[in-house]
Structure 1
Amino acid sequence: MSRIRPHVRGSRRLATTAGAAVTTATLLTAALSPAAHADPRPTRATAIQNAASALPAQAANLGLTSAENTSVRDVIVDKDGTQHVRYDRTYHQLPVLGGDFVVHLAPDGGYRGANRATRSPISLASIIPRIAAPKAADLAVNALRAVHLGDALKKITARPELIVDALHGTPRLAWRTNAAGRDSLGNPVARTVLTDARTGAQIDAWDSIETAAGDGKSLYSGTVPLDTTPSGSSYQLKDPTRGNTYTGDAQGKTDTCVLTICIGRAPAALFTDADNHWGSGTTADRASAAVDAQYGTDMTWDYYKNVQGRNGIAGDGKGSYNRVHYGSKYNNAFWDDSCFCMTYGDGDGTTFGPLVALDVAGHEMTHGVTAKTAALTYSGESGGLNEATSDILGTMVEWYADNPSDPGDYLIGEKIVKSGFGKPALRFMDKPSKDGNSADYWSSSVGNLDVHYSSGVANHFAYLLAEGSGPKTINGVAYDSPTYKGSTVTGIGRDKVGKIWYRALTVYMTSSTNYAGARTATLNAAKDLYGAGSTEYNAVAAAWSAVNVN
């Protein structure tokens, strides 16, 4: 998760007694109905077993040798029984960056093909590093300090991990080091640094804090319903219908750990309330921000489950948790996969308000979905796609919620910006360059941009695919989306865009996917969903061409 620069990023996510009764009745009806039958599709376990059976025969095609082992990261089973099993790999028990691949299987379990992050065979002369771990740690700390010049960082820690880097050309032994510390306000900063374990040269580096963010009166979304948990004579802001997701108060404290570097974690005291009516809709009541956070989690959970068929961020039905009021005037929100939690700062009041807006929540928790699926590396073009995935699907969450106080739009973070920011939103999907930094179109240098700005190419693609080119007003917001050579694009609607992008992410993209690969992945997804040569398939091709990805 990275600092807002300017951005909110790395990345999960309420009802009355009557609502609960309806849910129970529905479940009982389904259980008693003679039409209710067991799902004929293969189970997750069956898909894993089928993929495992296929691996020995496909080892050469997948670049697997006796020195390598695999582990399952994610499983997708389509309605027709087609199976997609995603793997990570190790080489002599060392994690392989860029070693991930997806095996595709027919409904009967037969092998159909695979997508690999990289194709270079792995054969190292030695797995003994010439650069010692303490030296790699020092290099990473220096890299962290270099991007925070002028800020006296405190409590810096670094933890090197020996890996094989297959993502940046010929596979080589490398140190992947997470360096973390606190800035002058006590807020967390972190950077992952990839170092050649033979020479000490820096291979790559990226921010490793993925940034962006009864009933309750929220700051941004009006009065919203909340499913809570009775506890004695009061209620907990904990949702038993969504994996026990809950929201707690960090009380201005920060972590002494970031990601894998942990000494202790800032507490998040679970919010409780006597009458199950939460917040006042103003910052004077600390529960108001908690209402926004819990509501954002709810809507994100519901979007992924009801639209994409994904049961929770990790697909395992388990809820995440939220921490609000984190740090001191912290201008950020982030998803942290190590705690499976969302963290929100209150903003400085001049540039940003509390960063608990609905599209921020959807954005950040989508980083969690990406981490559990394609795990797009947070650097270069794949990093831009990582960020764009959170913008695109986070925007879909906002449209899905259909909240009159925060209607759907193609602006990112419009609710949290203050006059001191100088723009009405963080990013603009119809014309990303309106933020002054983002790219409207692909070029050979786009991967050199900060990932929050290289994401513009995919954001622009998604807007064009949903709404088409040219001027229009949607939900009271005026848009005017250009194209690379003045081509005309006709939109297919945002619902189809969300489904195409999600399938591309979870079935075809890998850690190394670049913009050319994203074009292929989304075309494959459109073909699966709507057919080769369909209107949707052709629109995907046209929208990519309109942002110069051919």
Structure 2
Amino acid sequence: MNKHYSAVALLLASGLVCSTAQAQEKSAVQQKVLSDKGTPALVAFRAEAPAYTLNDARKAFAEQLQLSTNDQMLRSKTEVDQLGFAHERYEQYYKGVKVEHASYTLHAKQGAVQSMSGSFERIETLNVTPSLTAESALRSALQFVGARKYMWQDAAEEAGLKQQEENRAATYLPKGELVIVNNQRAIGTERLNKPTLAWKFNIYAQQPLSRAFIYVDAHTGEVVMQDNIIKHAAATGTFATKYSGTQSSATETATGGYRLRELTRGLGIETYNCKKSNSYTAAVDFIDADNNWTEYNNANFDNAALDAHWGAQSTYDYFKNIHARNSYNNAGAKIKSYVHFDDTPGGAGYENAFWDGTRMTYGDGATRFDPLTALDVAAHEIGHAVCSSTANLTYSYESGALNEGFSDIWGACVEYYKDPTKQTWLIGEDIDKVRPSLRSMSNPNAESQPDTYQGTYWYAGSGDNGGVHTNSGVLNHWFYRLSVGGSGTNDKGTAFSVTGIGIDAAAKIAYRTESVYLTASSNYAAARTYSIQSAKDLYGAGSAQEIAVTNAWSAVGVGAAYGGGTPPPTGVTYCTSKSNSVAYEFIDYVALGTLTRTSGADAGYYNGTALTAPTLTGGTSQTISYSAGFVGTAYSEYFKVYIDYNQNGLFTDAGELVVSSAASTSAATRSSSFTVPTTAKNGKTRMRVVMSDASGTTSCNAYSYGETEDYSVTIAGGTTVAGINGIAGGNVSSQFEVYPNPAADRLNIALPNNAAVVSVQIMDVRGAIINSARYEGNGQLNVASLAKGMYTLTVSDGQTTYRQRFVKE
């Protein structure tokens, strides 16, 4: 009995579905987008035949998510937006234990559910009885953080919290909460990204400063995840000067004159002076005798407090007037800002700003920055607070990059709202002494960020919580393209053309994406899916705005351009295929064109879609080679290879099973040939290689023994272009090797099939030809004389022209 059948049988046994209801439900579904785990990320229903009402929530979840008897969905909140949609959010529980970052929302109009979206974790078996006590797990968490002093060890801070919360029992001392969370730290093991029973602690360290949710395995005591609450405005550039000039800002009368407080916006906006310390409880008011704050332009940078106060006020006004949001939590929460914060040895100057889950904190800077209170920085940090009250994007890897990217979006939007003469598309341009800006949304590469998903400058390591301040450049550039438009070719070699819709419409789509659809674990593919849905909600299916959103994602390398009908798939739309065991056999070799990979066992599934994609031309015959690896005895294995020629996210269309190899016990390399259809859709698509000991294993299976590997291939139609500046014409491709990239002195060029290099050309970012580099033969290009920056390398073998970007460091 397969797993899908078992789940349905459970539902039938509990009386939640029947065959008739299932047929009706299926006919009502208009669109279903799957996550990378194979669970529904979005289910949209036909407007003329809604499948459920809000009262049918239990039935909707049971039928669409195939809940087991161990799964529960508990409603956490309901909100109604300006379009008249009611959004009921539910949190997932397994055997009564909360599943972190797993939530699902029903979106209804006049009681009828229009769509449902979110993140659902399918857990088959998990022991939810902890082996460790919360006290023991806390010791492991504190050892992991390793701080010298914690907030609960400071009596003044503890007393301040009790006063702030108006609760005598309030304390910073962490209390353990038993949850289920994906293990994000077991890199290189089968435990990576697997649901784990864990103790969750909110740990606020004072020296050195940090605040994060720390998750400790409730059975082993290992730290399995860290989700930072303090989001730093880390960056790489700006020329800080005037900030925002003379502005009017609300204040409040106080002893001695006026102070930076006001009560007309929500529960208030307040700004305090930390006096170059790291104590919030010792912070005092800024006082001015006549409410004319001109004397604060002094050597102590006290005028930075005015920027912080005005920035908080401006950000509140933007969200209230543009998005009808009452403060960051939509309930009028007080916005507190603390200026002149410093926890550096000897008061050397704190070069950062952050939101700690409760308040804004600004340092005065030192060698790199002026005081970090510029308008877009303030809006960026309060944007983190908005995120924590909406999508609550986990601060690591892609979800963390989205978290940072949305904060930059709000930084740009608030700056444009208050002063469109400022440089909207630069973040932090007013505060940095070294670089033109911290980040550039119009040209992320200028500040060493990627403008294309997994393109140049994409960070694939674990530092900076998985590159949250680097990979956010992709979302930043998507928003810029959506607002302004433009055309060109991205790092994946994909040509794009986007008609801009303006920053106001783009902001409405971004806000709805973050506040309505995204969940804690969302990635770039989910952001694409949900922003397209948001554009449909706001402007209608097939609207210019939906087309622009889709094409802007294509511009940054996430999904294909708009083509009408069913939106083209992203990486997450493909079904899951994975074996349960590689203890006896696995795929150890795959080769097709320029793709060659030798490997060991990869835990039942390997995602190689980021590897160089071989180019397959329509109408040509291709040969793929593959082999099985064995641990001990050689077993009889079947191989199947699928290519999604029409790029619709399925491998079941006619002609997409390109290899079906009979059973063999041999470990020798096998080869099969296939012809690429001329009707195949040009562009990058997925190839799936499945090896199993069972002949019935298909492209979408959880099967017993063997392995599945996914790769990318690029379909080309053989289009030719004229030669450019002496470079021979012919087929154009980006599929060749250039290394190391970035390069210091020499760049190695390796063309497919070891073809000889006939001509070489280098252009800078302006398109100007650079003649100072020398090609020395044997694939060696001397680039020592080039200035630092990005260049386009064009190489020809006399038949095909190859182009690729590289960076001179």
Verify same fold: TM over 0.5.
Answer: yes
One-letter amino acid of the counterpart of residue 241, structure 1: T
Match of 2:102 in 1: 99
Matched, 1:75 2:79: yes
One-letter amino acid of the counterpart of residue 376, structure 2: D
For residue 295 of structure 2, give the secondary structure of its aligned residue in structure 1. Answer: coil
Q: Using the TM superposition, give the Cα deviation of residue 156 of structure 1 relative to its aligned residue in structure 2, in angstroms.
A: 4.8
Matched, 1:344 2:346: no
Matched, 1:193 2:196: no
Q: Using the TM superposition, give the Cα deviation of residue 431 of structure 1 relative to its aligned residue in structure 2, in angstroms.
A: 2.4
Q: 2:198 aligns with which of 159, 167, 174?
A: 174
- The 8 Å contact of residues 97 and 163 in structure 1, kept in 2 or not, is answered as no
Going from structure 1 to structure 2, the CA distance change for 1:446 and 1:536 (only over 3 Å counts) comes to: farther
Matched, 1:273 2:285: no
Going from structure 1 to structure 2, the CA distance change for 1:447 and 1:309 (only over 3 Å counts) comes to: farther
- The 8 Å contact of residues 191 and 205 in structure 1, kept in 2 or not, is answered as yes
Match of 1:43 in 2: none
- The 8 Å contact of residues 373 and 506 in structure 1, kept in 2 or not, is answered as yes
Match of 1:333 in 2: 353
- The 8 Å contact of residues 451 and 556 in structure 2, kept in 1 or not, is answered as yes
Q: Using the TM superposition, give the Cα deviation of residue 112 of structure 1 relative to its aligned residue in structure 2, in angstroms.
A: 3.0
Match of 2:179 in 1: 164
Gaps of 5+ in 1: 1-49, 146-152, 256-264, 472-479
Matched, 1:368 2:385: yes
What per-residue deviation string (whole Å, max 9, x for no partner) do you get for residues 459-511 of structure 1?
1111111122369xxxxxxxx99885242333221111111100011111111
Distance 1:73 1:335 in 2: 24
Matched, 1:385 2:402: yes
Match of 2:446 in 1: 434
For residue 382 of structure 1, give the secondary structure of its aligned residue in structure 2. Answer: helix
Rg larger in 1 or in 2?
Answer: 2
Distance 1:482 1:229 in 2: 53
Distance 1:490 1:194 in 2: 44
For residue 114 of structure 2, give the secondary structure of its aligned residue in structure 1. Answer: strand
- The 8 Å contact of residues 103 and 519 in structure 2, kept in 1 or not, is answered as yes
Match of 1:246 in 2: 270
Q: 1:221 aligns with which of 244, 269, 278?
A: 244
Match of 1:397 in 2: 414
Match of 2:120 in 1: 118
For residue 205 of structure 2, give the secondary structure of its aligned residue in structure 1. Answer: strand
Matched, 1:516 2:525: yes
Q: Using the TM superposition, give the Cα deviation of residue 104 of structure 1 relative to its aligned residue in structure 2, in angstroms.
A: 1.0
Distance 1:51 1:323 in 2: 46
For residue 98 of structure 1, give the secondary structure of its aligned residue in structure 2. Answer: strand
Q: 2:339 aligns with which of 295, 309, 324?
A: 324
- The 8 Å contact of residues 259 and 288 in structure 2, kept in 1 or not, is answered as yes
For residue 89 of structure 2, give the secondary structure of its aligned residue in structure 1. Answer: strand
Q: Using the TM superposition, give the Cα deviation of residue 542 of structure 1 relative to its aligned residue in structure 2, in angstroms.
A: 0.9
Going from structure 1 to structure 2, the CA distance change for 1:113 and 1:541 (only over 3 Å counts) comes to: closer
One-letter amino acid of the counterpart of residue 240, structure 1: L
One-letter amino acid of the counterpart of residue 289, structure 2: A
Match of 1:11 in 2: none
- The 8 Å contact of residues 312 and 319 in structure 1, kept in 2 or not, is answered as yes
For residue 120 of structure 2, give the secondary structure of its aligned residue in structure 1. Answer: coil
Match of 2:496 in 1: 487
Going from structure 1 to structure 2, the CA distance change for 1:159 and 1:235 (only over 3 Å counts) comes to: same
Q: 1:500 aligns with which of 505, 509, 513?
A: 509
Q: 1:209 aligns with which of 230, 234, 239?
A: 230
Distance 1:335 1:283 in 2: 26
Matched, 1:230 2:253: yes
Distance 1:222 1:302 in 2: 19
For residue 452 of structure 1, give the secondary structure of its aligned residue in structure 2. Answer: coil
For residue 399 of structure 1, give the secondary structure of its aligned residue in structure 2. Answer: helix
Distance 1:219 1:278 in 2: 16
Q: Using the TM superposition, give the Cα deviation of residue 76 of structure 1 relative to its aligned residue in structure 2, in angstroms.
A: 3.5
Matched, 1:544 2:538: no
For residue 251 of structure 1, give the secondary structure of its aligned residue in structure 2. Answer: strand
One-letter amino acid of the counterpart of residue 277, structure 2: K
Going from structure 1 to structure 2, the CA distance change for 1:74 and 1:374 (only over 3 Å counts) comes to: farther
One-letter amino acid of the counterpart of residue 542, structure 2: G
For residue 354 of structure 1, give the secondary structure of its aligned residue in structure 2. Answer: coil
Distance 2:176 2:217 in 1: 12
Q: Point out the more displaced range, 481-490 or 373-382.
A: 481-490
Going from structure 1 to structure 2, the CA distance change for 1:72 and 1:343 (only over 3 Å counts) comes to: same
Going from structure 1 to structure 2, the CA distance change for 1:195 and 1:171 (only over 3 Å counts) comes to: same
For residue 332 of structure 2, give the secondary structure of its aligned residue in structure 1. Answer: coil
For residue 374 of structure 1, give the secondary structure of its aligned residue in structure 2. Answer: coil
Match of 1:32 in 2: none
Distance 2:182 2:549 in 1: 27
- The 8 Å contact of residues 441 and 484 in structure 1, kept in 2 or not, is answered as no
- The 8 Å contact of residues 219 and 292 in structure 1, kept in 2 or not, is answered as no
Q: 2:543 aligns with which of 503, 514, 534?
A: 534
Q: Which is strand-richer, 1 or 2?
A: 2
Q: CA RMSD in A?
A: 3.0
Q: 1:155 aligns with which of 149, 153, 163?
A: 149
One-letter amino acid of the counterpart of residue 154, structure 1: R
- The 8 Å contact of residues 76 and 506 in structure 1, kept in 2 or not, is answered as no
Q: Using the TM superposition, give the Cα deviation of residue 544 of structure 1 relative to its aligned residue in structure 2, in angstroms.
A: 0.6
Match of 2:137 in 1: 136
- The 8 Å contact of residues 429 and 437 in structure 2, kept in 1 or not, is answered as yes
Q: Point out the more displaced range, 351-360 or 64-73.
A: 64-73
Match of 1:148 in 2: none
Q: Using the TM superposition, give the Cα deviation of residue 435 of structure 1 relative to its aligned residue in structure 2, in angstroms.
A: 1.9
- The 8 Å contact of residues 425 and 441 in structure 2, kept in 1 or not, is answered as yes
Distance 1:535 1:164 in 2: 43
One-letter amino acid of the counterpart of residue 546, structure 2: Y
Distance 1:376 1:343 in 2: 21
Q: Using the TM superposition, give the Cα deviation of residue 275 of structure 1 relative to its aligned residue in structure 2, in angstroms.
A: 1.0
Q: Point out the more displaced range, 132-141 or 81-90.
A: 132-141
Distance 1:358 1:51 in 2: 44
One-letter amino acid of the counterpart of residue 442, structure 1: Y
Distance 1:507 1:176 in 2: 26
Q: Using the TM superposition, give the Cα deviation of residue 228 of structure 1 relative to its aligned residue in structure 2, in angstroms.
A: 1.8
Match of 1:291 in 2: 306
Distance 2:389 2:486 in 1: 33
Distance 1:64 1:418 in 2: 57
One-letter amino acid of the counterpart of residue 532, structure 1: A
One-letter amino acid of the counterpart of residue 344, structure 1: Y
What per-residue deviation string (whole Å, max 9, x for no partner) do you get for residues 300-321 of structure 1?
0111011111111111123311
Q: Point out the more displaced range, 319-328 or 193-202.
A: 193-202
Q: Percent identity?
A: 37
Q: Which is helix-richer, 1 or 2?
A: 1
Q: How does 1:34-73 map to 2 (within 5 A)?
A: 53-60=55-62, 61=64, 63=67, 68=72, 70-73=74-77
One-letter amino acid of the counterpart of residue 512, structure 1: S
Distance 1:352 1:195 in 2: 37
Going from structure 1 to structure 2, the CA distance change for 1:377 and 1:74 (only over 3 Å counts) comes to: farther
One-letter amino acid of the counterpart of residue 112, structure 2: G
- The 8 Å contact of residues 380 and 407 in structure 2, kept in 1 or not, is answered as yes
Q: Using the TM superposition, give the Cα deviation of residue 446 of structure 1 relative to its aligned residue in structure 2, in angstroms.
A: 5.3
